[in-house]
Structure 1
Amino acid sequence: MLSKVKKLLYATLLLVLIACSKQETATRTPNPPSVSVTTAQSISMEVREESIGSLEGIMDPTIAAEVAGRVLKVLIRQGQHVKKGQEIALLDPVNHQLQRREALSEVARLEALLENQRRLVERNTRLVERNFISQIVLDDVKTQEIALRRQLEGARSRLATIEHNQSKTRIFSPVEGKVESQIVVEGDYVKVGDPLLQIISNQFLRAHLPFPESTAAYIKPGLEVRLSTPTSDAVIISRIRELKPAVGTNNRAIEALAYVENQSGWHAGASINGVVVLGIRENVVVVPELSVVLRPAGQVIYAVNETQVEQRVVQTGLNQDGMIEIIEGVQAGERIVLDGAAFLTDGAKITIQNEVLTQANL
């Protein structure tokens, strides 16, 4: 009886071991991974250099006092838009008004003296003609008349200077733009040359674009450059106007300058992206970046052969807009793995989930 029980236990244990073995076999043979595939393309590709630089305002004057005086009124505030010729500040004109009144009095006095001297010259001229006085007396009064004329000219010049300075107590914007900073307030006393306001105009901007010094032989004035900035959706076409003569001591870069005019949404101080096209290469084979993975053999792609992949070592070139140039290893029109390439090995079985049509926009 005991022998029969043992045999039954052995049979049960054997069945359990067989079931576990089948489960382990099923676990060790997973389904092939699902991947998406695409096709290598042959396109025309730009040979280009890209740079991230900054925008500088060409017209960003700091308005300074041209005459001394107390600030009576500031007519604009920081951030306000101003037009060219708009009055923006007013200085106390009282001193200039008093000086003008004094200069007017001096001019009137000299005009009266000159008129009297002119009549004296006419009278003495008639007396000389009648031999009542000598020519020396006539010459003396004529000299005095000339001196008075010169004094009157000087007084009128001083009056014009005072009136010109008085006009400078009314300060006008030299450009159209926005007030970047207000330096003075009502009641401040300013001397000649003291800053009052700074105005930034975004109508004329200069783009500073640094390029590696190794490109100095290719980046030349006159080359077309595509410019874009984060503050605007517009992409504009400009040209490199000039290159700075010295290589930057901090970054070892050459700096190209391009100009932007009358672009809405472009701001001085903003960053800018510049793309210079150096040439066009025809019939370039490209694949998406995701298709190229790094293995001990180097950079590889996985070419699709029905339900199996073949590992190809490739030589890559340009990398632009998510696409990589394949110099050697893949031909245009070949199907390659896109998503899932990083998990494959040579000869691996795959399940194709979908086929992706990539568009190279280069």
Structure 2
Amino acid sequence: MLSKSKFSCLFILPFLVVACGQDDSDDGSERSTPVTITEAVVQPVEWIERSIGRLRANSAPNVAAETAGAVAVIHHDAGDAVEAGERLAELDDQVQTIAVNSARAELRRLEALMANERRRVRRLTNLREQQSVSQDQLDEAETNVESLEAQIQAAQSALEDVEYNLARTRIVSPVSGIIQERLVSAGDFVNRGQVMFELVSPAALRALVPLPEHLQNHVEVGQPVRLWVPSRPDDVHDFEVTEIRPQVGSGSRAIELIVDLDNPGGWRVGGSVSAEIVIERRDGLVVPPTSVVRRPDGRVVYVIEDSRARERPVEVGLRDADWIEILEGVSEGERVVVDGAGFMTDDARVTVEEGGDAR
């Protein structure tokens, strides 16, 4: 039979177990979540479309022979930088030199005949005044002078033509640039119009930038464009759209923007170019991207009111790496949760961490 003391211990034990199972740390206070906050601010925002384009030379002339002949000398090869007017090659000019000498001799012969005929006209004029010759003789001499004048003009034109052909045996660069390709060698016979050199002028470039077809109503000539080359991602330059090609690419279904520009330095013809096309600029209310949280019912932002996080459904607009535009749901100057927003619930108590207020 149990003693009275042992029975008392067995009766008290369950109550002790229950008491020990209670959380003695629960003093009735509500837990507070540490967060960082910032203010919603108005700042310029941009709708930007990014693309990768290619660079072409805005001036890439082909240098062709302007007269026929054999190539006598090559002065420059592919890769050489040349100045406008610099000699690239020379053709054998023997035929052209003979033609020039012949034309000059013919002109001197006609000029000698003209001088003699004019002296004859002067003599006949004096004799006619003395009634020593007939008027027909004088008229014939004057007609001969007019005929020789016409022949001299024709001879001068012929001389200019052969001198032009002689000068064209010296092949010169029409622009300052770089020889892309040499298409002839010494000894080759070239005909008039045959291409001898391909040049590119890297000083004037043209960027061809594709954009999706659905953006064709959002771009126009004069639209701001930022360009840079992959080798210099921090060297960004501002330009404007020069032209929009009217035809949509049959394979890519893209429109193509053209930007004419002076080479900023070191940009190479045929290389790629990164582009940011500014579709729209305006002032917008923005918050950090981490402040906007996606919930089953949509996007929300947590606004701080009386040390509590109040959940606000929001409508977002433009976005960038550092901000998201808020179209509805938050007002300028309201404080929103930044770090910790993803773990918030509506009406949760918060504590702003030291240095966590970005205002």
Alignment of 1:3-18 (within 5 A): none
Q: Which residue of 2 aligns with 1:273?
A: 275
Structure 1 residue 323: Cα displacement: 4.4
**Against the structure 1 CA distance between its residues 168 and 275, is the aligned structure 2 distance closer, same or farther, given a 3 Å change threshold?**
same
Question: Which one-letter code corresponds to 1:88 in the other structure?
Answer: L
What SS does the corresponding residue of 2:242 show, helix, strand or coil? strand
Q: Which residue of 2 aligns with 1:189?
A: 189
What SS does the corresponding residue of 2:288 show, helix, strand or coil? strand
Structure 1 residue 163: Cα displacement: 0.8
Residues 1:117 and 2:117 are matched in the alignment: yes
Q: Which residue of 2 aligns with 1:222?
A: 222
**Against the structure 1 CA distance between its residues 355 and 183, is the aligned structure 2 distance closer, same or farther, given a 3 Å change threshold?**
farther
In structure 2, what is the Cα distance between the partners aligned to 1:74 and 1:43? 65
**Against the structure 1 CA distance between its residues 357 and 142, is the aligned structure 2 distance closer, same or farther, given a 3 Å change threshold?**
farther
Structure 1 residue 45: Cα displacement: 4.6
In structure 2, what is the Cα distance between the partners aligned to 1:88 and 1:164? 18
In structure 2, what is the Cα distance between the partners aligned to 1:140 and 1:272? 80
Moved more, 179-188 or 205-214: 205-214
Alignment of 1:1-362 (within 5 A): 42=41, 44-52=43-51, 53-232=53-232, 233-270=234-271, 271-282=273-284, 284-288=285-289, 316-321=316-321, 323-325=323-325, 333-337=335-339
In structure 2, what is the Cα distance between the partners aligned to 1:56 and 1:176? 16
In structure 1, what is the Cα distance between the partners aligned to 2:149 and 2:357? 93
Contact 2:221 2:241 in 1 (8 A): yes
Q: Which residue of 2 aligns with 1:4?
A: none
What SS does the corresponding residue of 2:76 show, helix, strand or coil? coil
**Against the structure 1 CA distance between its residues 181 and 292, is the aligned structure 2 distance closer, same or farther, given a 3 Å change threshold?**
farther
Q: Which residue of 1 aligns with 2:31?
A: none
Write out per-residue CA displacement over residues 263-306 of structure 1, whole angstroms, 9 at most, x where no aligned residue.
21223333341322511232x33334x787878766789999xx
Structure 1 residue 167: Cα displacement: 0.9
In structure 1, what is the Cα distance between the partners aligned to 2:274 and 2:63? 28
Contact 1:303 1:336 in 2 (8 A): no
Write out per-residue CA displacement over residues 203-235 of structure 1, whole angstroms, 9 at most, x where no aligned residue.
222233333444344323233322222254532
In structure 2, what is the Cα distance between the partners aligned to 1:295 and 1:186? 76
**Against the structure 1 CA distance between its residues 95 and 355, is the aligned structure 2 distance closer, same or farther, given a 3 Å change threshold?**
farther
Question: Which one-letter code corresponds to 2:275 in the other structure?
Answer: N
Question: Which one-letter code corresponds to 1:44 in the other structure?
Answer: Q
In structure 2, what is the Cα distance between the partners aligned to 1:317 and 1:205? 36
Equivalent residue pairs, number: 321
User: Which runs of 5 or more structure 1 residues have no equivalent in the other structure?
Assistant: 1-34, 348-353
Question: Which one-letter code corresponds to 1:78 in the other structure?
Answer: A
Contact 1:301 1:336 in 2 (8 A): no
What SS does the corresponding residue of 1:267 show, helix, strand or coil? coil
In structure 2, what is the Cα distance between the partners aligned to 1:125 and 1:74? 60
**Against the structure 1 CA distance between its residues 272 and 158, is the aligned structure 2 distance closer, same or farther, given a 3 Å change threshold?**
farther
In structure 2, what is the Cα distance between the partners aligned to 1:81 and 1:333? 61
In structure 2, what is the Cα distance between the partners aligned to 1:41 and 1:311? 15
Structure 1 residue 103: Cα displacement: 0.9
User: Which runs of 5 or more structure 2 residues have no equivalent in the other structure?
Assistant: 1-33, 347-353
Instruction: Give the TM-score normalised by structure 2.
Output: 0.72
Contact 1:128 1:134 in 2 (8 A): yes
Structure 1 residue 138: Cα displacement: 1.4
In structure 2, what is the Cα distance between the partners aligned to 1:268 and 1:214? 29
In structure 2, what is the Cα distance between the partners aligned to 1:227 and 1:181? 28
State the identity as a percent.
34
**Against the structure 1 CA distance between its residues 168 and 299, is the aligned structure 2 distance closer, same or farther, given a 3 Å change threshold?**
same
